[in-house]
A and B are shown apart, each in its own frame.
Chain A
Amino acid sequence: MVASVGRGSRRDQVVAACLAGAVVVVVGYASGIGLKTTAASSPVAPDQPPAQAAPAPQPVLPNGELPPPGAVQPMPPMPGGGIPPVDAPPPAEPVADVPSGEIPPPTGDIPQPTGDPMPPAPPETPPQTPTGTPPPTETPTCQPSAVQPVLDTVSGLPLVGGLTTGLAVTGPDGLLATIIGSCPAAPAQPAAPPAIPSSGG
């Protein structure tokens, strides 16, 4: 009886210790500690400083252009990763579902589409466009599935990411990449649709 109680207590302690370790890893990951910047992630560094330390973001329309003066501007970034939703400015030309322009990374939780808009960006400010050269239109582009970002995210986890990569489970040459395929990491990303900024908590 005493022995079984002792075993139960020890089991509790082991489970509690494992939970504590897992929570530390998860919260550390959420805080951006030890996060590896992978080629698949967006060009904005994960530890981007909060909005108040950053220069005023350049509002960009979904098609990558600056909005005209007087147009509704997206709100500045706010903590939590929210993004200022562009209040549907009329595009100059038909645009795809996903905007190709990069929205500045918010650091706040959530944006506010209306009220207190940012002042319009100076007209001479160039729009933020990807630095890479767009591929020829006839070149087929690699379309990663929804699994790919999850794998990238797992690879980015501290400890867990190192373990899975070390065991060749994830990563470009890993077992999962072999099975489900993967998109090669390009040095300069083509006009991808990063509608959600990768930073901006």
Chain B
Amino acid sequence: MDLGSAKFWYVLARCVDYSGLALFAGGLLFLALLWPAGADHRRARGVLVTGWVLGFAGTVAGLGLQGAWVTQRSPADLLDPDLLAQVLDSQFGRIWFAKALGWVLAGVVLADVLQRGRRAAVSLGWRVGAGVVAAGLLRTTGLTGHSAESAHPLLSQLADFGHLAGICAWIGGLAMLLFGVLSRRDPGELAEVVPRYSKLALTSVLLVIVAGAVLALGTLGDVGRVFTTGYGRILLTKLAALAVVLLFAQASKSWVARRLDFAVVLRGDAGAVRPFVYSVAAEATLVVVVLFAASLLVTASPGR
């Protein structure tokens, strides 16, 4: 792929958008369910703000870059008014415009938690608002996927929603854990939050795998196409990257099962926690490769 092409930048915008969605939606879930006290901490808030900025910027840039790609224009034309006018007149533009509005609404949730911190994170109203906004963002993201093409669109779109939700819960939680909890090494928080997140991550990964299998079958139609189409090859690359990430995830899970109590007894000693920090950091880094492969997948034709 030509690095100066509009397609490359469009794929990058999708990747930024996915990363932002995962950080924001997963971060909200983490604060609401696992660690409300984190809403008072600067780094945890930073994860949410970063997610919001990436998501909004990726969505807005994606609008213009998709138009630039389609019309074979330079990626620098992404803010051209004529181009944007054409994109907004298309179904893709309508969906992504709605998604940008969704990010604006997400700003209300973010502003509230930044203002009130823990008090917001424990209130039912904030949790409901955050859940609804996150669900809206997930749904609008799913509207621009391959799931609508499937022979069973309802099942595929449900699987798509579950797949996205699982990814967000896993990756957003991973970022919160790494930048929020592990950076503080507070023994009380380690003992309380890490086991909870471990269970959430396991559930999320299972959901991601099951929903992903349903999606892949619905999109490709035949397992053999995994090896014979470009879409299938990208999917294989994504699965290979995911397998490596899961190896690190397994290492993290083993550490939680065998060494967490020891690290808590040592009052969060840096040396005791370091192996866990490394495996979580490796997971979080490699996940970016998975997200980039996912961005390539949505711009590829399943070739059915």
Contacts and interface: CB of A to CB of B under 8 A. Distances in A.
Nearest to B120: A12
Given A50-B149, A79-B144, A98-B86, A201 B301 contact: no
Given A85-B69, A97-B73, A108-B301, A19 B129 contact: yes
A46 B125 contact: no
B95 A51 contact: no
Contacts of A80: 92, 95, 143-146, 148, 298
Contacts of A20: 128-129, 132
B108 A15 contact: yes
B47 to A, nearest CB: 21
Interface in B215-242: 229-230
B87 interface: yes
Interface in A65-92: 75-76, 78-88
Contacts of A31: 143
B207 interface: no
B97 interface: yes
B46 interface: no
A78 B86 CA distance: 18
B146 A109 contact: yes
B140 A30 contact: yes
A108 B72 contact: no
Interface stretch (A125-133, A144-152, A162-170, A173-181): A144-152
Nearest to A197: B90
Contacts of B93: 81, 196
A127 to B, nearest CB: 18
Contact of A26 (B102, B148, B151): B102
Query: Interface residues of A: mostly helix, strand, loop or mixed?
Result: loop
A64 to B, nearest CB: 15
Contacts of A27: 98, 102, 136, 139-140
Contact of A201 (B112, B144, B300): B144
Contacts of A16: 124-126, 128-129, 132
Contacts of B86: 98, 193-196
B97 A113 contact: no
Contact of B102 (A13, A23, A52, A153): A23
B67 interface: yes
Contact of B89 (A8, A116, A196): A196
Interface stretch (B23-31, B77-85, B164-172, B196-204): B77-85
A30 B99 contact: yes
B95 A81 contact: yes
B146 A78 contact: yes
Contacts of A32: 91, 94
B109 to A, nearest CB: 7
Nearest to B112: A15
Interface string A1-39: 000000011011111100110110011011110010000
Interface string B172-197: 00000000000000000000000000
Contacts of B144: 79-82, 109-110, 201
What are the 10 tightest A-B residue pairs by CB atom distance, in nearest-first order? Answer: A81-B92, A12-B125, A80-B144, A146-B81, A30-B98, A23-B136, A83-B70, A16-B129, A112-B301, A110-B299
6 contacts: A32-B94, A48-B91, A50-B153, A81-B92, A97-B73, A115-B230
